[in-house]
Amino acid sequence: MAIQLTHFSAALVFALVASIVFGITHRDTARDMFRYGLYCFVMFVGGVIVAGWAMWLVRR
Partner 1 sequence: MANSTSARINPNPAAKSAPASSMLAVLAPAVGWFIPGAGHLIQRRWIRGLLLLVSISSLFVLGLLMQGHIYKANGGDILDILGFVGDLGAGGLYIATLAMNAGQGAIAFAIADYGTKFMIVAGLLNFIAVADAYHIAIGKKQ
Binding site for partner 1 (CB under 8 A): 1-5, 7, 10, 13-14, 16-18, 20-22, 24-25, 28-29
Which amino acid, one-letter code, is at 41? Answer: F
| Terminal Cα-to-Cα distance of the chain (whole angstroms) | 39
Three-class secondary structure of residue 35 per DSSP: helix
Smallest gap from residue 10 Cβ to partner 1 (A) = 5
Smallest gap from residue 33 Cβ to partner 1 (A) = 8
Residue 25 or 57: the one with the smaller Cβ distance to partner 1 is 25
Containing 18, the helix (H) or strand (E) segment is helix 7-26
